[in-house]
């Protein structure tokens, strides 16, 4: 029997009657079955449909317990179930430092009011890129949010450097979305 249904874990074609509903899509009987002899849950690299429940919240992405599916996102980044604390901390520190440096660079541009949209976007992209560089090119919901937050924080630092009275009103209003859009360009590939 020909089927268009494939396992979301291993991509093996499966019969609609044999498939087991998972968090995303359906899984074949082998992937849906917990491993034998291992009380920790599903086989390594896979997540059962209940592993997200009751595991506690991890601010660096995913559940604290459970096998954690190491899926590949469309842009090539890995959206792991858990980001190591050291990597998350390093990404946070580098992101904030990049935001401050970016704000120092962006401040004079905002004070002059020329090319502030393009400059804000470029600096926002660079700050977001620094976050993923510090995270060793990993990706998680935490890192994506951190990258966008730091991109926006760059404009706040830039306005302080330029002194908010010197910056044109349009710069204050439009520089934030320009910087966040620049960061989003980097984040959307993750």
pLDDT score of 1: 60
**To the nearest whole number, what is the mean pLDDT of the chain?**
74
Same domain, yes or no: 101 and 138: yes
Let me know if residue 95 belongs to a domain. yes
Q: How far is CA 2 from the centre of its chain?
A: 37
8 A C-beta contact, residue 107 and residue 161: yes
165 shares its domain with 100:
yes
Domain around 152? 85-187
The domain total for the chain is 2
For the cut 80, the answer to whether the pLDDT of residue 140 exceeds it is yes
**DSSP code, position 1:** -
Together in a domain, 145 and 170? yes
Tell whether 21 is covered by a domain: yes
107 contacts 158 by C-beta, under 8 angstroms: yes
Q: For 1-59, how does the pLDDT look when each residue is reduced to its tens digit (9 = 90+)? A: 677 788 888 888 888 788 888 877 888 888 887 644 444 444 444 444 443 333 344 44
Say whether both 110 and 33 belong to one domain.
Answer: no
Q: Based on the fold, state whether residues 67 and 91 are members of the same structural domain.
A: no
- Range in 88-92, 122-126, 137-141 with the lowest mean pLDDT: 137-141
Q: Is the pLDDT of residue 66 over 70?
A: no
User: Region 108-126: what's the mean pLDDT?
Assistant: 84
Q: Are 101 and 65 in a shared domain? A: no
């Amino acid at each position: 029997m020909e089927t268009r249904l494939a396992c979301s874990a291993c991509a093996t074609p499966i019969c609609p009657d044999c498939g087991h509903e998972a968090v995303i899509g359906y899984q074949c009987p082998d992937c849906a079955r917990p491993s034998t002899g291992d009380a920790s849950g599903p086989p390594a690299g896979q997540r059962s449909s209940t592993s997200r429940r009751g595991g506690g919240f991890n601010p660096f992405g995913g559940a604290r317990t459970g096998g954690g599916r190491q899926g590949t996102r469309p842009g090539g980044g890995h959206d792991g179930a858990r980001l190591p604390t050291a990597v998350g901390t390093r990404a946070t520190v580098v992101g904030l430092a990049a935001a401050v440096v970016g704000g120092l660079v962006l401040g004079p541009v905002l004070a002059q009011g020329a090319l502030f949209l393009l400059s804000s976007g470029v600096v926002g992209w660079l700050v977001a890129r620094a976050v993923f560089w510090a995270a060793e090119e990993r990706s998680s919901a935490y890192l994506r949010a951190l990258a966008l937050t730091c991109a926006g924080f760059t404009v706040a630092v830039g306005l302080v450097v330029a002194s908010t009275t010197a910056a044109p009103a349009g710069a204050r209003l439009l520089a934030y979305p320009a910087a966040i859009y620049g960061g989003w360009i980097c984040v959307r590939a993750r």
